[in-house]
Structure 1
């Protein structure tokens, strides 16, 4: 089974880092093994509805000094629709999506910045204040 490095951002502001192998955008819960957990540790059950977003990352640490840019580079080929997401807490994500459907609990977005530590992000729709196709 392939495991993804993820950073969970909860609607209450908490953050948790770990790995998952069973996240599905159509299910209401999935399992996460916390970063640094021993191999015999039991995974934690996570309810998608408690989250703001799930960030699928290259590295857990990332580069704290680097600020992702919120625009598409000129000449960059974009697959899907360009989208701007504003979360209820004011955070803004800009990227592209091929899976936005207003009737689903969320959708994946690929960041506009190709140098971002975020490979993709699952946005939980109820944690957003505005979603704009740009």
Structure 2
């Protein structure tokens, strides 16, 4: 199962696990416990700001986020800068951005990020730029 943090456009946050997120579908199931037997929450993708696939739920409180590409880093895909409607900025790379799709995957450029990748919901973006 994938460890995820679902951030909604209205500010809500849900943490849990999923095994059925598919970008082309408008919903998926979030389990608060990784083990079978727990009742899932139905998450509607259009309500999300982004879905973060994380290394841990705690993260590293000492880590200072960086939107700069580390010197000598090899990037896969196009470098992209996303500004969300709430003002948050995330920089990473993407191989699947299409403005006609409801969202796309982004891999953060920050090697110390707790996010392995995230699925950005296009409707939650204020601006997008390629570098």
Residues 1:74 and 2:66 are matched in the alignment: no
CA contact (8 A) 2:108 2:117 kept: yes
For 1:20 and 1:62, locate their aligned partners in 2 and report how far apart those are by CA, in whole Å. 19
- The within-5 A match list for 1:36-55 is 36=33, 39-55=36-52
How far is the alpha carbon of 1:75 from its aligned partner? 1.4
**Which secondary structure state, in structure 1, belongs to the residue aligned with residue 65 of structure 2?**
coil
Task: Name the Cα RMSD after superposition.
Answer: 1.2
Q: Which residue of 1 aligns with 2:89?
A: 92
Q: Would you say how many aligned residue pairs link Structure 1 and Structure 2?
A: 131
How far is the alpha carbon of 1:115 from its aligned partner? 1.2
Residues 1:19 and 2:17 are matched in the alignment: yes
For 2:70 and 2:122, locate their aligned partners in 1 and report how far apart those are by CA, in whole Å. 26
Which stretches in structure 1 are left out of the alignment for 5+ residues? none
TM-score by length of 2: 0.96
TM-score by length of 1: 0.94
Q: Which residue of 1 aligns with 2:2?
A: 4
Cα deviation per residue 1:78-117 (whole Å; 9 max; x = unaligned)? Answer: 0000000000000000000001010000000000111111
1:37 and 1:19, CA in 2 relative to 1: closer, same or farther beyond 3 A? closer
CA contact (8 A) 2:4 2:52 kept: yes
How far is the alpha carbon of 1:38 from its aligned partner? 7.0
